[in-house]
Amino acid sequence: MLQVIGLQSPPAISLVRIALGVVFLVAAAGKLPNQRRFFLVVMAYRVLPRRLSRLYAHVLPWAEAVVGVVLLFDVATRIGAILAVVLLVSFMAAIGRNIARGRTGLPCGCFGGGSHQQVSSSLLVRNSLLVLLALLVAIYDSDGFAPHAAYLLSFPALALSSIILFPFVRQRFTPPRTF
């Protein structure tokens, strides 16, 4: 099936890898110039204590930059793609937690503290798609897809994504209670 849609060809995987690299570099570039503003966005999420929020706000942009460079220049690509999955799932957890709390007016912070995009279910969907693309890059081998890597990476990442998406889906499709 993957051959039919052209995803098994190296050019398609390269295109996905480069696109992911650009996304992570742009995200880092939006955060690095004003880490104080990004720290305030991280604090607004109310997921981490203040000290961990400060550390996260300082380390995350550099981690995104490393992932972006690794993917863009095809150096240690599998490691970069796995790190991309880890970062994306952590973003989904924070976004999902705030959606579950009803806090959807928060700035996303995805591409820096000045972004006008707010926390929403569309961010969860977008990040889920990015996770799938990163998994494709991670499991691709020069000889094709490596089945062992697919099992090791796909199921845990998809399970975590499902767990994160579940509260939103349940809330969205559960009829309101009447008393």
Is pLDDT at 4 greater than 50 in this prediction? no
| Confidence bin at 20 (pLDDT 50/70/90) | very high
Supply the Cα-derived Rg of the chain in whole angstroms. 17
* Residue given tokens 């939103």 in the structure block: 168
Residue 109 lies in a domain: yes
Residue 113 lies in a domain: yes
pLDDT one-digit tens code per residue, 57-103: 999 999 999 999 999 988 888 889 989 999 998 898 888 888 888 88
Residue 152's identity, in one-letter code, is: L
| Confidence bin at 27 (pLDDT 50/70/90) | very high
Q: Domain total for the chain?
A: 1
Residue 178 lies in a domain: no
Residue 137 lies in a domain: yes
Bridge partners (DSSP) of residue 140 are 145
pLDDT one-digit tens code per residue, 100-147: 888 888 888 888 755 677 888 888 888 988 998 998 888 875 555 555
- Cβ 113 vs Cβ 38: under 8 Å: yes
> Nearest Cα to 81, choosing from 143, 142, 133, 8?
133
Residue 3 lies in a domain: no
Q: What is the pLDDT of residue 74?
A: 86
- Residue 179 CA to residue 15 CA, distance in Å, equals 54
What lies within 8 Å, CB to CB, of 68 at 6+ separation is 21, 22, 23, 24, 25, 26, 27, 28
Residue 103 lies in a domain: yes
pLDDT one-digit tens code per residue, 43-54: 888 888 888 889
- Cβ 82 vs Cβ 138: under 8 Å: yes
- Residue 109 CA to residue 34 CA, distance in Å, equals 12
Residue 112 lies in a domain: yes
Residue 1 lies in a domain: no
* Residue given tokens 């880490």 in the structure block: 35
Q: What is the pLDDT of residue 117?
A: 77
Domain that holds residue 92: 10-169
